[in-house]
Amino acid sequence: MGMRDALLPEFDHEIAVARKVLERVAQDKLAWKPHDRSMSLGRLATHVAEIPHWAQTILNEPEFNMTPSSYQPQEKSTLADILALFDENTGKARAILTGKSDAELMSSWSFKQDGKEVFAMPRAAAWRSWVMNHIIHHRGQLSVYLRLTGSKVPSLYGPSADES
């Protein structure tokens, strides 16, 4: 059994849970924000849908150099578009991971800011941080947004107050 065989079940599980959370986002609340400095519900949901795209960079490129023009956040205007983006990105991410060997997953990937290395780590570790943990983190935020906007929160790792 290789590393990808250990990473894929976790990916499949967490992606399924994230999709359940996204499905609960209310179309008429996409502009809602809990605070002036917070992302809108629509922007946060779109960000969750964008995150799996990092797999392409982490698993196929030697590095990512963050510059002012290297990342342009998206904001989808409908829940259907958010879900379509999520499905597209997760499908591509899974396919890329499925094709990687242990040697490839252990090869180094680096994150740079304006050409200066911020960190370097094995691709498998970057995958866990920048794809998996990143989705889990923002999915948690999104579940709070759901509660605050009156939507039902699905079970994540056990029953929620809305599902028993």
The continuous run of DSSP H or E covering 150 comes out as: none
Tens digit of each residue's pLDDT, the chain (164 residues): 899 999 999 999 999 999 999 999 999 999 999 999 999 999 999 999 999 999 999 999 999 999 888 778 887 999 999 999 999 999 999 999 999 999 999 999 999 999 999 999 999 999 999 999 999 999 999 999 999 999 999 999 989 999 87
> Can you tell me the distance from the alpha carbon of 57 to that of 26, in angstroms, rounded to the nearest whole number?
31
For the domain bounded by 3-65+80-148, which CATH number is listed?
A: 1.20.120.450
Strand partners, 110: 63, 120
Taking the model in full, what pTM does it have?
Answer: 0.94
> Can you tell me the distance from the alpha carbon of 19 to that of 21, in angstroms, rounded to the nearest whole number?
5
Strand partners, 120: 110
How many CA atoms lie within 13 Å of 164's alpha carbon, on the beta-carbon side?
Answer: 0
The residue extents of the domains of the chain are: 3-65+80-148
